[in-house]
Structure 1
Amino acid sequence: METPLIVTDFLEQARDYYGEQEAIVGTDGDRFTYAEFGERADRFAAALQKRGIEKGDRVAVLDPNTQYHLEAAFGAMQLGAVHTPLNYRLEPDDYEYILSDAGVDAIFADYEYAEKIEAIRDEVPTETFVTNDTESVDGEWEDFDAVVSAAGTEFEQPEMAEDEIITINYTSGTTGDPKGVCRTHRTETLHAYLMSIYHEITDDDTYLWTLPMFHVNGWGHIYAVTGMGATHVCTRGVNPDKVVTAIREEDVSFLCAAPAVLNQLIDYYEEHAAPKGQRIEGSAELRSADHSSGQSPREDGETAGAGEPEMMGEKQVRVTTAGSAPPEATIRAVEDRFSWYLKHLYGATETGPLITISDAKRLMTDDNRFEIKKRQGMGVLGTDVRVVDEDGEDVPRDDQTLGEIAVRGNQIMDRYWNKPEATEEAFSDRVEGYYHTGDLATVDENGMIAIRDRKKDIIISGGENISSIELEDTLFDHDAVADAAVIPAPSDEWGETPKAFVVPSNGDPTDPPVSADELTEFTRDRLASYKVVRRIEYVEELPKTATGKTQKYELRQQEWADEDRMIGEG
C-alpha cells in the first residue's frame, strides 16, 4: 500500500499522540502543548486563507528561532502554501530580491527585523504583513496573536501530493544572486526520517534551537522534532550564558551548533571554570562515566565544583555540527570536558542537508575517534555519495586523490526556483543525475570522505555562505579600487573570514588613496554585517592566467600556508 508523504503529517502525528505533552518552550517563557501548538497553527492557516492565501502561494517567515516561526510555517503548509524562510542576517536589498523572485504573497516578520521589510514593502509583490509586536514596528502590520485569536480554527485544507513544492530555501548567493532551492513534501519527509534516525531523536528529547530555523528548515528539525513528539526550546540568537542555562533548566538533550558556536561555549566554560590562563585541551581517553547523574565529569575525574558551569542537565547531551570539521581541540573539549557526544554531518541546502555523517562507532577506537569525527563521513541510508574526477569516474580510496562530491538521494532538492539552466548544470556537470556540490574531497579505505578544498570560491564564515563575487563587486564600486580579489582567510573565531587583495587606483600599495579601515567601512555600509570585509591587503598586482583570469588559488595557498588544509572550520 502506498500513501503520500505530506509534511503536515508530522504535526498531526504529534498532536494525535502527544496532545497534552509540552511541545514548545517559547522565547518569552510561554509554554505550549502539542494541542495548543496545533490549534495556533490551525488559526494562522484560517487567517491566511481569509486573506486570500491559497495552495501554491508563497508565505515567507523572517524570524530568529521563536515559537512564531514554527506556528507560521505549519500554518502556511496546512494550506499547501510554500514555506519560504528568510535569513534574518540579510539587508533590505536582499529581501527585495528574494520576495520578488519568489513572488511572496504574505510574510510574518519578527519585530526586530520587520523594519528591513518595511523599507522595501512598496517594491515587492507581498500584500499581507504580520508581526509579533506591532507597537515596535512602523507601517501597517497585523499582530500575529490578534490575528490567530480572531481567526477561529476552521479552514479548508486542499488535497496535497508528495511531489508538490512545499518549501523554498534561498541559498546565500555564493555564485551571484541567491537561488531558491525547491523542496517537495517527499524530499522534506524522507530527509526528516533520516534526521530522526541519525540523530537518534526520541519523544523524550528536548531540542534547543541554536541552529537557525531558516537554514534548510532547521536541517529538517521543524519536522523531525515535531513528528517524534519531542520538545522545542526556542531562542533569540546564541548567547552562551543563556544556552548553558537552558541546557540545565530545561534538561536539554540535543542541539546543533556550527563550530563557531561550539567555540563560544568553550570560551564561556573557560571563563567560568578553567584556572586563569589555562586553556582547555581535552582528554584523549574515551569517557565511560555514567552521564545520567547530571554531573559533568572533568579530566581529573572530579565532578564540576562550586563556580563551574554544569554543561548538562539530567540527560546526556548530544550535539551535531556540520560542514567543515571543528579542530580536534574543539571536539576534545566538547566530549571530554563537557561530557557531550558530538556528531559531524555534511551536506548543503540543495541536499536537505544531510548526506554524510562521521558517527561510525564500529570504526572508532581510542586512537582514531577524533580523526574519524573530523571527517565528513559516509553516506546515509538511501543516499549515493560519490567523489568523482573530471571524467565522472570514482576516485580511488587512497585518501589522496581529489575529486568533486556528487550525490543522489531522496532528500535532494527538486530544482532551483525559476532557474532551469542552473538546475540542469547542477545535475549534469560530471555525472548525469547527481547533484554536484562543488566541494573537493578524498575518500579513505572505509569510504569516508574528507573535504580538502572547494571548487568554487565560497567563503563559509560562522556557518554562513558568503559570495566572494558579491564582495568583489562591492569593492569595485569604490573609485580607489582598480582591481580586487576576495578569498577565505583563516579565522580562529569564525573558521573563515573574507580577505580582500586590492590593487589601488594609483598603483601604489604603500600609499593607497583610501585606507584599509575606510574601505572596510565602505563595505559595512553596503553589506550584511557578516559579509563585511575586515581584512584588506594592498598589492601591486593580482596573479593572473594568460587569459587574464585572477588565480585565486595562488592567493589561497599564500594565505593558508601555515594551516593544515585550505578550508576553515566555519
Structure 2
Amino acid sequence: MERPLLVTDFLDRAREYYGDETAVVATTGQRYTYDELGERADRFAAALQARGVEAGDRVAVLDPNTHYHLEAAYGTMQAGAIHTPLNYRLTPEDFEYVLNDAGVTAIYADHEYAEKVEAVRDEVPVETFITNDADAVDGDWEGFDDVLAAAGDYDRPEMSEDDVVTINYTSGTTGDPKGVCRTHRNETLHAFLVSYHQDVRDTDTYLWTLPMFHVNGWGHIYAVTGAGATHVCTRGVDAASIFETVREEDVSYLCAAPTVLNMLQDYYADHDVEPSGDAPVRVATAGSSPPEATIRTVEDEFGWDLVHVYGATETGPLVTTSSAERLLDGEDRYALQKRQGIGFLGTEIRVVDEDGEDVPWDDSTIGEIVVSGNQVMDGYWNKPEATEEAFNDRVEGYYHTGDLAVVDEHGFVAIQDRSKDIIISGGENISSIELEDALFDHPEVGDAAVIPSPHEEWGETPKAFVVPASGDPESPGVTADELAEFTRERLASYKAVRRVEFVAELPTTATGKVQKYELREREWADEESMVGQG
C-alpha cells in the first residue's frame, strides 16, 4: 500500500491522540494543548486563503522561537502554501533579496523584526503583512491574534508528497543566497530519521535553543509535534535561562551548537547550578566539532547524553551521527564523538577523491563528502544550473557538500577542511566573498582575502588579510577596528570581520588567483584541523 508522505500528518496525529496534552509552552508561560495549537493553525490557514493565498504561494515567517512560528508554519502548509522561514539576523537588504527571489505573497513577522521588512516594503511583492503586535510596528500591519479571531474555516487542498512545502535560504556562502526546496517527502522522511536517531518520544519536553528558521529547526517542528511531545519556546538563549528552563520544565531534549555548549560549560564552572530537572537530558550538537573537553563536561558533569550530528541546509540537514554505542569504546570514545560519524538510516555517505572514487578508510586520505538520501533537497529555487552542479560535480546523482574529510576504520567521517569559501561561526554560515566585497568598498583597501580564523568560543571567526591601498601595511590609513565597523554597517552584525591583519601582498597563483589555502594553513598551523572546533 502506498500512502503520500505529507508534513500535515504530524500535527494531525498529535491532535488525534494528544489533543488534551501540552503542545507548547509559550515565551509568556502560557500553555497551549495540541487541540489549541491545531485550532490556531487552522485559523491562520483560513486567514491566508481569505487574503488570496493559494496552493504553491510562498509565505514567509520571520520569528524567533515562539508559538507564533509553529502556528504560522503549520497554517501555511495546511493551506498548501510554501513555508519560507527567514533568518531574523539578516539586514533589510537581505530580506529584500530573499522576498523577491522567492516571490513571497504574505509574511508573518515578529514585532521585534518587522521593521526590517517595513524598511523595504515598497520593493518586495508581499501583499499581506501580519505581526504579533501591530501596535509596536510602524506601517500597515495586521495583528496575528486579531486575524485569527476573524478567520473562518479553511479548505485543505489536495497535496502531493512531491510538492515543495518549504524553502530554506542558505547564507549566500558562494554568492547570492539560494532557496533550498524541500518537498513533503523530504521533510517527512527526515523527521522520521530524526525521531529514530534522536530517540524522540511523547514523554519528551524539547527546549528550542536552535532557531526554528534553521532548516525548520533541524526538522524538529515536525518530529517533536508528530510524537506528541512538548515544545518549550524561547526568544533567545543564555546559559542561565537554559539551565533554569531545563530544571523548571523538566526538559529532556535540546539541540545546541558547540558555542552554546561552551557557554553552558563556562557558566556551570562559575556558578553553583543544577544542570537537570527530574528528566534525564540528552543534547544534539552540530555546526562544528565540539572539543573533547566540552563533551566530557556535558556528559560527566552535567550528566547529559550528547550526540554529534552533521549535515547542511541542502541535506535536510542531518545525515550523520556519532551515536554508535558499539563503536564508541574506552578512551577513544570522546575522540570518536567529536567526529561527524556514520550515515543515518537510508543515507549513503561517501568521501570521494577528485575522480569520484571512494577514499580508503585510513583516516588520512582526504576527499569530499557526497550524500544520497531521501532527506536531500529537491533542488534550488529557480536555479537549475546551480542544482545541476551541486548533484553532478565529482559523482553523478549525489549532493556535493564541499566539506573535505577523512574516514577511519569504523567508517566514521571527520571533516578536515572546506572547499567552499565559507566560515561557520557559532553555527552561522558566513560568506568570505561577501565580506571581501564589503571591504573592497573602503577607499583604503587595495586588496583583501577573508578566511576563517580559529576562535575558542565560536569555533571560527572571520579574519581579513588586507593589502592597504597605500601598499604599506605599517601605515594602512585605516585601523582594524574601523574596517570591522565598516563591514558591520553593511552586513548583518554576525557577518562582520572580527580580525584584520595588514599585509604587503597576498599569496597568488601564476594567474593571479589568491591562494587562500596558504593563508589558512598559516592561520591554523597550531590547530588539529582547518575547521573550527568550537
Global fold match (TM > 0.5): yes
Q: SS at the partner of 2:490?
A: coil
Alignment of 1:64-463 (within 5 A): 64-152=64-152, 154-272=153-271, 308-463=272-427
CA contact (8 A) 1:51 1:128 kept: yes
Q: Does 1:57 align with 2:57?
A: yes
SS in 1 for 2:294: helix
1:24-62 per-position Cα deviation (integer Å, ceiling 9, x unaligned): 000111100000000000000011110001100000000
Moved more, 43-52 or 516-525: 516-525
Distance, in Å, in 2 between the alignment partners of 1:229 and 1:569 is: 35
Deviation at 1:258, TM superposition (A): 0.4
Instruction: Report the secondary structure of 2:148's partner residue.
Output: helix
| Cα distance per residue 1:391-443 (max 9 Å; x no partner) | 00000010110000001010000000000000000000000000000000001
Q: Would you say the 8 A contact 1:386–1:405 is kept in 2?
A: yes
Kindly indicate whether the alpha-carbon contact (under 8 Å) linking 1:23 and 1:34 is maintained by their aligned counterparts in 2: yes
State whether structure 2 residue 3 is matched by structure 1 residue 3: yes
Q: Residue 368 of structure 1: SS of its match in structure 2?
A: helix
Q: How big is each residue's C-alpha offset from its partner over 1:269-310, in whole Å with a ceiling of 9 and x where there is no partner?
A: 1120xxxxxxxxxxxxxxxxxxxxxxxxxxxxxxxxxxx211
Q: Is 2:479 the partner of 1:515?
A: yes
Cα distance in 1 for partners of 2:516, 2:186 equals: 36
SS in 2 for 1:431: coil
Q: Are 1:100 and 1:124, in contact at CA under 8 Å, matched by a contact in 2? A: yes
Distance 1:364 1:157 in 2: 47
In 2: Cα distance, 1:562 partner to 1:382 partner: 38
Whether the aligned pair in 2 keeps the contact of 1:524 and 1:532 (CA below 8 Å) is yes
Secondary structure, aligned partner of 2:43: helix
Question: What is the Cα deviation at residue 562 of structure 1?
Answer: 1.2
SS in structure 2 opposite 1:248? Answer: helix
Is 2:510 the partner of 1:564? no
Deviation at 1:481, TM superposition (A): 0.4
Which residue does the alignment assign to 1:470? 434
Tell whether the 8 Å contact from 1:23 to 1:32 is kept in structure 2 after alignment. Answer: yes
Q: Which residue of the partner structure matches residue 551 of structure 1?
A: 515
Q: Which runs of 4 or more aligned residues in structure 1 lie more than 3 Å from their structure 2 counterparts after TM superposition?
A: none
How far the C-alpha of 1:372 sits from its partner, in A, is 1.1
Q: What residue number does 2:467 align with?
A: 503
Q: Is the 8 A contact 1:62 1:86 kept in 2?
A: yes
Deviation at 1:268, TM superposition (A): 1.1
Opposite residue 364 of structure 1, the aligned amino acid is: L
Give the fraction of aligned pairs with identical amino acids, expressed as a percent. Answer: 72
SS at match of 2:464: strand
Corresponding residue for 2:26? 26
Kept in 2: contact 1:323–1:376 (CA 8 A): no
TM-score by length of 1: 0.93
TM-aligned CA deviation for residue 366 of structure 1: 2.6
Q: Distance in 1 between matches of 2:407 and 2:348?
A: 14
Is the partner of 2:436 in helix, strand or coil? helix
**Shift, 1:569, TM fit:** 2.7
Q: Distance in 2 between matches of 1:267 and 1:138?
A: 40
User: Deviation string for 1:126-156 (max 9, x for gaps)?
Assistant: 010000111111001000011111113x111
- 1:37 is matched with which residue? 37
CA distance in 1 between partners of 2:332 and 2:471 (Å): 51
| Counterpart for residue 448 of structure 2 | 484
RMSD: 0.7
Shift of 1:79: 0.8
Indicate if the aligned counterparts of 2:287 and 2:426 stay in contact, CA closer than 8 A: no
Which shows bigger deviation, 398-407 or 515-524? 515-524
Instruction: Give the secondary-structure state (helix, strand or coil) at the position aligned to 2:331.
Output: coil
Contact kept in structure 1, 2:206 and 2:230, CA below 8 Å: yes
**Aligned letter for 2:258?**
P
Q: What is the DSSP-based 3-state SS (H/G/I as helix, E as strand, rest coil) of the residue aligned with 1:362?
A: coil
**Are 1:529 and 2:529 matched, yes or no?**
no
Q: Secondary structure at the match of 1:138?
A: coil
For the residues of structure 1 that align with 2:186 and 2:329, how far apart are their CA atoms?
A: 35
**Residues 310 and 320 of structure 2 are in contact (CA less than 8 Å); yes or no, is this contact kept in structure 1?**
yes
Task: Mark the runs of 5 or more structure 2 residues left unpaired by the alignment.
Answer: none
| Matched residue type, 1:12 | D
SS of 1:536's equivalent?
A: strand
- Would you say the 8 A contact 2:257–2:288 is kept in 1? no
Q: Mark the runs of 5 or more structure 1 residues left unpaired by the alignment.
A: 273-307
Give me the whole-angstrom Cα distance separating, in 2, the residues matched to 1:149 and 1:312: 39
Q: Deviations over 1:317-338 (max 9, x none)?
A: 0000013211111111111110
Q: 2: CA distance between counterparts of 1:323 and 1:146?
A: 39
Offset of 1:11 from its aligned partner? 0.1
* Cα distance in 2 for residues equivalent to 1:383 and 1:507: 51
Q: Assess if the C-alpha contact under 8 Å between 2:7 and 2:184 holds in 1.
A: yes
